[in-house]
Structure 1
Amino acid sequence: MKTNKFLFTLLFLVLNAIAFAQNQSAKVAGVVLDETNKPVEGVTVSYQTKSSVTDANGFYEITVPANQKIVLVFTHTSLKKITVTLYLSPNENREFHVMMNDNAEQLGEVVVTGNKRRVQGISAIEPETIRRNPSAMPGIESVLKALPSVNANSDLSSGYNVRGGNYDENLVYVNEIEVYRPFLVRSGQQEGLSFTNTDMVQNVDFSAGGFQAKYGDKMSSVLDITYRKPKKFGLTAEGSFLGGSLTAEGISKNKKWTALTGVRYRDNSLFVNSQETQTNYRPTFMDVQTNVTFSPNERWQFSFLGNASQNKYNYQPLTRQTNFGTIDEPIALLIFYEGQEKDRYQTLFGAFKTTFTQNENNNYRLITSVYHTQEQEYFDIYAAYFLGEVDTNIGSETLGEVTYNRGVGTQLNHARNDLDALFVNAEIKGTHQINNKKHQIDWGFKYTRENIRDRIVEWEVIDSAGFHINPPVVDIPNDQPYNPYIGPLVPYQNVRATNFIDINRWSGFAQWSTKTNLGSSEFWVTAGARFHNWMVSGDGISNAKSQTVFSPRAQFALKPDWKRDMVFRFSAGFYHQPPLYRELRDADGAVNPNVKAQQSIHFVLSNDYNFLMNNRKFKLVTEAYYKTMTDVNTYTLENVRIRYRANNDAEAYAYGLDMRLNGEFVPGTESWLSFGYMKTEENQNGRGFIARPTDQRLKFGILFQDYMPNLPNMKLYLNLVYNTGLPGGSPSYADAYTYQSRLRDYRRADVGFSYVLTEKNNERPNSHWLKKFEDLSIGFEIFNLFNNQNAITNTWVRDVYTKNQYGIPNYMTTRVFNVKLTAKL
């Protein structure tokens, strides 16, 4: 492995300055791809007498004169030549990527003005990195969780929180179409598959805050995903102990039609069986997704994106033993279960998009979509628990067992919850380049109708040492066992409600972008604003009011005329989050139609630093941010279940620092190191600031790729995350201000090994059987490599003798092994 080189590189970055290009020259670097988005080796990139040749990863780099037009020529023995004209400023290190094919020749003039994503402060993630990343919950979200600003408290969830927000505060788009998450999911192991199919992805852009007005109305982040358009027939398949997937793609002979379809199946039994609770459980998740495009001519394009998914969660717990406490006083919680849980989540999604390109300066898009989810949550689970001291005497026949009970009790949980939600969207957008493309205008207008039918019937009964426990809100004297209790027997928790709700929303945006010069420096400005109007109606709602919010935003970027390739950015703006149905419903199931939009003001200051070391590209991104929040809708977080108070009774803030260094620590691979510090607190009804449920202070993340020099077919992928502990929550009906304990620190390492059978396919004869495959790999993965016990929430149990309540950690998955096979034709 190249561990020593990696450590030396990291030390070198910290202690030494970087050498840069001469004053009157510039560098062009990039990747050359073919029609299938595979890197092309052996492409000659030339300017006059200078030349460079792409390596096995399609990468090239060439030094050229600055302040003048230069003509770069890309030539290959089997692909058509490409000629482009560039104009670069002194000391620039610019990216210019090229796609070559065998039936077209490109000729044009390009003025390289900087990477658009870089100017906008967007993190771009390579799809191949996502596909190779080892994670208990594979997909785009697993890579996001390695970024400094992104956190998650569940190994089996695709949900994530960003800079102090929660799971409901993140926007997700696929091909400019907003996608949604299920409503009733309580735990990560119920989620199954995320919406995005990794094998269908072309581009992934992520912004952790301070994003533009063209994106929607959420307070934390934007994940913008683009699916690819096939260039030829292809087939990708993957199978493992955790399920499998099959993706097919093709294009018509006249190249007007393309189709991309993926089928996925997931089985989380390996992970569930590794947890402390012994169960009879085999969860199954399946979805089918397709993206079809039709381009009758150069001006028009029509596309359809469809998804059908079904998650079945049948759960029958048997026993559980959790040891906690201290070495001197070990305590164990032993639980015996009866009953079962049957959950079902069925989702249908369809979207049509029409794109009309009037000319190279004017573009219009019409988008319509329908999202329908039917969710069912049924369970009756009886739990008898023993809370006692553990025998620690070595040699004892009862070593590790509970020998003295401090508390004995029972608990019965019941639910019959059904939800049916239908979302309909219609949106029109436009993009206009004016004044010789020096200015860009974007605008959009959207209508959304949300129809929700929700029935909630859930209750919990607690009995401790034979005495029924009423909730604290029932004010009836109870001094058992000295006197008999003669009051009513009521459930400790009891939620019953039926809500038929309609929400009509109108929203829109307009923004302006331009690039200019400040002296010899480049300067970008983007300014815009959004509006959002909504009104809640439905059975039993008579006092609803129409509400409107207005959100101005601006982003500025400056690239000084320095030897160092740096970009400075500053973003500020208002970010409102009009409530969805879950935010309107309080802990008792009642809907408050007049819940206000939560408001956040973002301030983000960042620096983007590109440099070369050992002729390899590196980037260091540093961001400092501050968010102040008003009309905060406070909530409790149990696993991934969010329960809002629906009363806008708090104010909050979040601030922090994010740093990310990525580059080729090992030649030909991309890895990154990330560090984040974040603090977020809220003040409920003026009682003072306390930690929010997502107050995760420190984070370190490593996403590392390597290969064996003597065995280049063997690849290594490492995903390492360390987070300080989250707040541990509080028991039902308890005052959050009296429960400010934290869970233990989160430490997790996932590692994957992949043996690529097609590594040197270009050297094999055409008759070789491996020539049929673009990729054929055998992988071995170890999840939670060091077998760390990471806690997600607390289970609160009473000690009948001392009247204390113990927070017993709910631990996540232990070490799990997986084998997979990947093939692509």
Structure 2
Amino acid sequence: MKNNYLLLILLLCFTTLGLAQTATIRGIILDDKNTPVPGASVAFMGDGTVTNDNGFYVIVIPANEDIAISYTYVGFKKITQTFNLKANADIEFNPVLKTDIEQLGTVIITATTRQRVEGVTTIAPETIRKTPGANAGVENLLKSLPGVSNNNELSTQYAVRGGNFDENLVYINEIEVYRPFLVRSGQQEGLSFVNSDLVQNVAFSAGGFQAKYGDKLSSVLDITYRRPTDFAASIDASLLGGSISGEGISKDGRFTALAGVRYRDNSLLVNAKQTETNFKPRFFDAQSLLTYKFTNKFQLDFLGNITINKYDYEPLTRQTNFGSLADPLALIVFYEGQEEDKYETYFGALKGTYQLNEHTTLKVLGSAYHTQEQEYFDIFADYRLGRPNTNIGDEDLGDVEFTQGIGSQLTHARNDLDALFINVEHKGTYLKDTDQIDWGIKYTREDIRDRLEEYEVIDSAGFSIRPPIGDFTNEQPYAAFDAPLEPFTNIRARNNVQINRLSAYGQYSKRTEIGNNELWINAGVRAQQWTVSGDNIESTTQTVVSPRAQLSLKPGGNSDMIFRLSGGLYAQPPLYRELRDSLGQVRPDVKAQKSFHLVAGHDWSFNLWERPFKLVTEAYYKGLTDVNPYTLENVRIRYRATNNATARAYGIDTRLNGEFVPGTQSWISLGVLRTEENIDNQGYIPRPTDQRLKVAFLFQDYAPNIPSLKLYINMVYQTGLPGGSPSYADPYVFSELPRLRDYFRADAGINYVFTDASKPFPKGHWLHVFKDLTAGFEIYNIFDRQNSITNTFVRDASTQQQFAIPNFLSPRVFNIRVSAKF
């Protein structure tokens, strides 16, 4: 009897071992643009799975036999691959689906069109890396889109449809990223957080975005860093700096690493400006993305970033000619002193992804952002305001002969800021057939320690200019004034502030058909509650709710058109910068700015000259309440920390892109905008970002007889912004000032491609080690246009007149660039 039991146990063991003879296949399904395809089917012998939001799949198959696996997705050609794997094998296979031309009628649910129906613009990473610009990268290319503007080539910041720089969300692999607080000018910024060498996918929405995105008023930039499938490296070097990146994957495919290091020096650009300086910038950045798959269902990602920016600036002289031909004026300034700024940021994030089943994906994210910022300067300036010599042929042509204003200015700052942001978040997705549910909840702790100490003393012809407070009027030099000397501006504050935020969202999406038409709908809501507390601050708690919806329709028939309508109530709870007024005091009762979005869009793909083109048009309206007025000084925003205004923005954006030259992608953009604000019911005046008209052109070409010789042109024209006002002044007093001059800039790059994927070299040739090798030169501001970003306000004591003197940006500059991939 015992022998029978033993025989039965042995039989069960062998049976179990026989059943356990399996192997694992994992990977990412990509489309022909290397974009992950979510929801693709992976099937064999009646069994299978679907890819998650990142295009990732895992499937277990029987070992030691031929198994045919099919990879399918509507709108793409089917791929069938046969595997015969040993027991317990674990391999990676990353198929690339090609577009099925015969199924363009169902394009609404392909991977690329999934972003089209959501009103999202996608940009190819290779175009980002090759487009020339003084601050090349993702943001440089965004500025060629309609509705996106910034009149400062030295800055990576951008305004979208009348909003400001603080109203844009930026995500990298679903993790929200931040920028430093104290940066005042574009030349101090150094590097964007986004490392273009690591980017796989770029998605951008200029309004009407879904509830799953955070609490901002204007836009979303959603960046995905790539997941390595093999070893690769790249290097890029120019007169502005350089970058190195590398990536790899372990033999078992479970661990991947992606890293990049960048260095930048803006001296080439800044030394060409009108202000002569001793300039020592040092901008350094290191990033990494590490991924480890613990099991077939769980993987952990780590995203890390270290940025160290040091900015030493010693101005010497400046001469700015302005006015008109009939009434020319010039400002000459002689400087003493220097500025020493430092911005150090450290960022780390963990993201765990668990595939609960073929329909449900669960994620847990945690991140910490720490910034230490220093802004120290003492700069003394002697200035002369007068009329220059305009007689051509004179030896002193351009020199100031008649001086109508003499004065001096002393600016001082000792500003320090230390901020720590901690985030913990859960996200989930349920996807089955044509239905999708997304949800999430997030807790954020913000701890800010800030010392603000600034003052400015202005002296004109020996008389100290008093601060513009109350009903005070300064009649000097005609009437003596014997009050104590006071700085023109004097800001002193110490703040220790804590902000706790709890936010959550839920949304539902569905694809369906109505007759011969295809319909996609999305509806969701998000909410946030935040509490502001700190030293000498009365704790204040507020809550906002933000419902949003989108609808896209593809009519039946052969034409590839999509109609979109989206809108909702958007709210932006204040960050620390919005809580701090122009005197540095924190006002915890500042409300969230609110905006109603209504966006109607049309997307049409067609063939022209037997080549593919696409025309995208959107009309929009934004009505804002509880607006927090601000002034814009270069890239520094100074809020009034009140909610005493309403505003509106409306316009139309259109973009035509396609193969203007066979085999290349180019586009032309047109944007028309009007944005106004009404402060304390005094009437509507233009907002600081009122950019009425924009035309942008991105063009790629090659020499017909030398296809390896490439040309890239990035050109932007924008009408002038309002002239602005000092931070202490009533903007209505300055609202009648002439606008800044129109902004027009064209950057060009000419490259020679020694080798790439279409031009490989055989083994043994010295170029064989390169996957891509390109060298060339770039010309920034081809037409040497004098663009300006802001005004400096200089007062003539004798006439008591204030002059708005434009601050000009960089002139024509030449750069040399070499890039390689291994």
Do the structures match in fold with TM over 0.5? yes
TM-aligned CA distance change 1:89 to 1:250, over 3 Å: closer
Give distance in 1, aligned partners of 2:497 and 2:613: 51
Match of 2:696 in 1: 701
**Cα distance, 1:765 vs. partner?**
2.5
Give distance in 2, aligned partners of 1:87 and 1:763. Answer: 28
Deviations 1:343-396 (A, max 9, x none): 000000000000001122000010000000000000000000000011112232
**CA shift in 2, pair 1:531/1:35, >3 Å:** closer
Which of the residues 810, 813, 825 maps onto 2:810? 813
- TM-score between the two structures when normalised by the length of structure 1: 0.87
Q: C-alpha separation between the residues in 2 aligned to 1:125 and 1:91? A: 21
Which of residues 795, 800, 807 in structure 1 aligns to 2:797?
Answer: 800
Q: Taking every aligned residue pair, what percent have the same amino acid on both sides?
A: 57
CA–CA distance in structure 1, aligned partners of residues 476 and 771 of structure 2: 73
Residue 532 (1) aligns with residue 528 (2): yes
Do the aligned residues in 1 keep the contact of 2:594 with 2:624 (CA within 8 Å)?
A: yes
DSSP-derived class of the 2:768 partner: helix
- C-alpha displacement at 1:800, in angstroms? 2.2
1:712 aligns with 2:707: yes
Q: Secondary structure at the match of 1:505?
A: strand
Choose which of 223, 226, 237 in structure 2 pairs with 1:225. Answer: 223
For residues 760 and 288 of structure 2, the distance between their equivalents in structure 1, rounded to whole angstroms, comes to 35
Letter in 1 for 2:612: K
Letter of the 1:795 counterpart: T
Task: Name the counterpart of 1:92.
Answer: 105
TM-score, reference length from structure 2: 0.88
Residue 447 of structure 2 is aligned to residue 451 of structure 1: yes
Q: Is the 8 A contact 1:264 1:287 kept in 2?
A: yes
Do the aligned residues in 1 keep the contact of 2:32 with 2:97 (CA within 8 Å)?
Answer: no
Q: Point out the more displaced range, 607-616 or 180-189.
A: 607-616
Q: Post-superposition shift, 1:113?
A: 8.4
What displacement does 1:563 show? 2.8
Partner of 2:394: 396
Distance, in Å, in 2 between the alignment partners of 1:169 and 1:81 is: 37
Partner of 2:480: 484
Corresponding residue number in structure 2 for 1:586? 581
Report SS of the residue matched to 2:540.
coil
Distance 1:83 1:304 in 2: 26
Consecutive unaligned residues of structure 2, counting only runs of 5 or more, are 1-29, 38-73, 82-91
* Structure 2 contact 31–97 (Cα < 8 Å) conserved: no
Measured in 1, the distance between the counterparts of 2:660 and 2:133 equals: 21
Task: Give the drift of 1:771.
Answer: 1.1
Distance 1:478 1:691, change over 3 A: closer
**Residue 725 of structure 2 is aligned with which of 708, 730, 735?**
730
C-alpha displacement of 1:80: 10
CA displacement at 1:799 relative to structure 2: 1.7
Instruction: Give 3-state SS (helix, strand or coil) of 1:280's partner.
Output: strand
- CA, structure 1 residues 607+488, in 2 after alignment: closer, same or farther (shift >3 Å)? same
SS in 2 for 1:129: helix
Shift of 1:479: 3.8
The amino acid that maps onto 2:250 is S
Q: Which moved more, 1:230-239 or 1:346-355?
A: 230-239
Q: How does 1:110-149 map to 2 (within 5 A)?
A: 112=110, 115-149=113-147
Letter in 1 for 2:733: T
Separation of aligned partners in 2, 1:246 and 1:355: 29
Q: How far, CA to CA, are the matches of 1:86 and 1:495 in structure 2?
A: 61
Q: Which residue of 2 aligns with 1:46?
A: none
| Aligned partner letter, 2:437 | I
**Corresponding residue SS for 1:656:** strand
Alignment partner of 1:339: what SS?
A: strand
Q: Does residue 508 in structure 1 map to residue 504 in structure 2?
A: yes
Matched, 1:785 2:745: no
* Aligned counterparts of 1:316 and 1:606: Cα–Cα separation in 2: 49
User: How many Å separate the matches in 1 of 2:95 and 2:338?
Assistant: 64
The correspondence of residues 233-382 of structure 1 with structure 2, limited to 5 A, is 233-382=231-380
Q: Is the contact between residue 74 and residue 82 of structure 1 (CA under 8 Å) also seen in structure 2?
A: no
Contact 2:582 2:727 in 1 (8 A): no
- The whole-number CA distance in structure 1 between the counterparts of 2:325 and 2:101 is 66
Match of 2:429 among 428, 431, 443: 431
Once the 2 structures are TM-superposed, how far is the Cα of residue 763 of structure 1 from its aligned partner?
5.7
Conserved 8 A contact 1:761-1:771: no
Residue pair 1:36, 1:231 contacting (<8 A) in 2 also:
no
Deviates more, 1:321-330 or 1:306-315: 321-330
Per the alignment, residue 88 of structure 2 pairs with: none
Q: In the alignment, which of 679, 702, 713 is matched to residue 674 of structure 2? A: 679
Check the 8 A contact 2:760/2:768 in 1, yes or no: no
Secondary structure of 1:792 counterpart: strand
Deviations 1:122-181 (A, max 9, x none): 000000000001010111000000000100121110000000000000000000000001
CA distance in 2, matches of 1:518, 1:328: 67
Residues 1:746 and 2:759 aligned together: no
The corresponding residue for 1:632 is 627
Residue identity opposite 1:235 in structure 2: A
C-alpha distance 562-738 of structure 1, shift in aligned 2 (>3 A): farther
Q: Would you say 1:689 and 2:687 are equivalent positions?
A: no
1:66-215 pair list within 5 angstroms: 72=78, 92=105, 94=107, 112=110, 115-215=113-213
Paired residues for 1:538-577 under 5 Å: 538-542=534-538, 544-577=539-572
Instruction: Work out whether residues 153 and 639 of structure 1, in 8 Å CA contact, stay in contact via their aligned partners in 2.
Output: no
Q: Which residue of 1 aligns with 2:716?
A: 721
User: The residue matched to 2:481 in structure 1 has which SS?
Assistant: coil
CA distance in 2, matches of 1:213, 1:482: 62
**Higher mean Cα deviation, 361-370 or 802-811?**
802-811
Q: Secondary structure at the match of 1:545?
A: strand
- Return the offset for 1:730: 1.5
- Are residues 1:520 and 2:533 paired? no
> Secondary structure of 2:140's partner?
helix
Q: Give the Cα–Cα distance (whole angstroms) in 2 for the partners of residues 809 and 762 of structure 1.
A: 49
User: 1:19 corresponds to which residue?
Assistant: none
Q: Secondary structure at the match of 1:298?
A: coil
SS at match of 2:356: strand
Aligned residues: 746
Structure 2 CA distance for partners of 1:348 and 1:732, relative to 1, 3 Å:
closer
For 1:760 and 1:69, locate their aligned partners in 2 and report how far apart those are by CA, in whole Å.
Answer: 26
CA contact (8 A) 2:466 2:474 kept: no
Separation (CA, whole Å) in 1 of partners of 2:208 and 2:299: 31
The answer to whether the 8 Å contact 1:629/1:651 transfers is yes
Q: Which moved more, 1:614-623 or 1:161-170?
A: 614-623
Deviation string for 1:95-134 (max 9, x for gaps)? 9xxxxxxxxxxxxxxx858710011010000000000010
- Worse overlay, 469-478 or 723-732: 469-478
- The unaligned stretches of length 5 or more in structure 1 are 1-29, 38-67, 96-110
CA shift in 2, pair 1:705/1:86, >3 Å: closer
Secondary structure at the aligned position of 2:755 is classed as coil
Q: Deviations 1:234-293 (Å, cap 9, x if unpaired)?
A: 110011100000001111111110001100000000100111000000211001100000
Give the residue type in structure 1 aligned to 2:269. F
Amino acid at match of 1:571: S
Separation in 2, partners of 1:428, 1:477: 58
Change (3 A) 1:724 1:82: closer
Distance 1:627 1:84, change over 3 A: closer
* 1:531 aligned counterpart, secondary structure: strand
Counterpart residue type for residue 670 of structure 1: Q
489, 495, 515: which one aligns with 1:493: 489
Evaluate the alpha carbon distance shift between residue 320 and residue 664 of structure 1 in structure 2; reply closer, same or farther with a 3 A threshold: same
Q: Partner letter of residue 676 of structure 2?
A: E
Amino acid at match of 2:732: Y
